[in-house]
A = this chain, B = another copy of it.
Amino acid sequence: MTPPHTPRRLRYAMVGGGRDAFIGAVHRKAAALDGQIELVAGALSSSPEKARASGRDLFLDDDRNHGSWQELLADELRRAPEDRIDFVSIVTPNHLHYPVAQAFVEAGFHVVCDKPLVHTGAQARDLVAAVKKQGTVFGVTYNYTGYPLVRQMRHMVQSGAVGTVRKVVVEYHQGWLATAVEDSGSKQAAWRVDPALSGAAGAIGDIGSHAENLLSTVTGLEIESLCADLSAMGAGRTLDDDGNMLLRLSGGARGVLIASQICTGSENDLRLRISGTTGSLLWCQENPNQLLHMPVNGAPRTLTRASVGLCESAQRASRLPSGHPEGFIEAFANVYLGVAADIRARLQGVAADPLAADYPDVEDGARGVHFIEKVLESSRSTAKWTNL
């Protein structure tokens, strides 16, 4: 994949992601990988001191290394347009996504935001409206859809290579919350089991939302109704750490979605299985360089990343020949490349190439928030089906 020639790297600022944070560092590596984007500013923590120390770790110039996101925003607005950042990347804890994103969008900045987008459907609607009004770029890092073979799977499903979709099973098994790690110093665990920080959803927000996005992106189908059973298995937990649901999809397909963080021993076992009238597809995140295609007639075929015959979208998302494994960061970087392509198109005043500007946007993020709300509603309901 050769990125298009451009006159300069895009410049971005990061909000959140300071020392001890996990996902911020992933965003930075993903953004850095292809040499197309550079980090120039930041407000890396809600603690001003920690923010600045973190910025020095990352070689930020002192005058762009801020103690709060409000200072960062004010500083950027003071600068001449040609000196401003091209976009901001928001990697704070979930509860801050909304105010930070809303402020930057309203100020006219392009945004990359981690998922889940916001805590409530009302916030999501506000944000969608703001993005529409401003006409800005807004990417949501549902990173799993950045994998080349997920794009291949999307292409095959949506071009009819497996016929009409009848059945979808998406499973996301993790085991790291099987024990009470929130009580033994895991910062990552602690905020996820705290409703104030994580929102009303636990596992279903943290990983179920990825499963929903993967299913929706690949199939292009809508979840019309669902029937969910959420549980909090860990002693003392109020948020779900295990969730299972039946799905009814547009076009008559049936589905099952499982998202659990108490499956002892599972690491990050996200898998999507789609069966259509003329074939099935199976992709597993922990082995992302292979896609199993089982045609109705003939032997199962293992499609490998970057091999001959994949669709253009999958080929562009690859950096290396087949047999040279690509992984999580590369998929994540594809989301950044997609956002960057869209921003560059706007800088150049042209329409973006849809194969290049391929990333989950604010509408995907809002749909994910709506999904979470409906899952919670269904789980409390005695009715079988909850419509979306």
Contacts and interface: CB of A to CB of B under 8 A. Distances in A.
Contact of A33 (B33, B308, B381): B33
A265 B286 contact: no
A301 to B, nearest CB: 4
A254 B280 contact: no
Contacts of A268: 321-324
Given A8-B59, A325-B288, A276 B264 contact: yes
A115 to B, nearest CB: 15
A163 B22 CA distance: 31
A273 B244 CA distance: 14
A383 B381 CA distance: 10
A307 interface: yes
Contact of A57 (B5, B260, B324): B5
A29 B39 contact: no
A297 B307 CA distance: 10
A166 B242 contact: yes
Nearest to A243: B254
A98 interface: no
A120 to B, nearest CB: 25
B304 A301 contact: no
Contact of A381 (B9, B329, B384): B384
Contacts of A122: none
A298 B275 CA distance: 22
Contacts of A263: 167, 273, 275, 280
B35 A39 contact: yes
A382 interface: yes
A48 interface: no
Interface residues of A, number: 94
A330 interface: yes
A57 B35 CA distance: 10
A92 interface: no
How many copies of the chain does the oligomer comprise? 4
Interface string A289-327: 100011111111111100111000000000111111111
Contact of A327 (B245, B246, B307, B325): B325
Contact of A59 (B35, B264, B319, B384): B35
Contact of A58 (B35, B248, B278): B35
A229 B246 contact: yes
A127 to B, nearest CB: 28
Max count, chain B CB within 10 A of own CB: residue among A254, A297, A309: A254
Contacts of A285: 323, 325
A179 B296 contact: yes
B319 A162 contact: no
A181 B358 CA distance: 33
B323 A286 contact: yes
Contacts of A345: none
A20 B167 CA distance: 32
Contacts of A278: 264
B294 A299 contact: no
Given A33-B29, A229-B246, A279-B264, A296 B175 contact: yes
A277 B28 CA distance: 36
Contacts of A244: 246, 254-256
Contacts of A26: 319-320
13 contacts: A29-B33, A29-B319, A35-B58, A229-B248, A260-B275, A265-B300, A266-B280, A269-B323, A297-B308, A298-B309, A301-B302, A382-B383, A384-B384
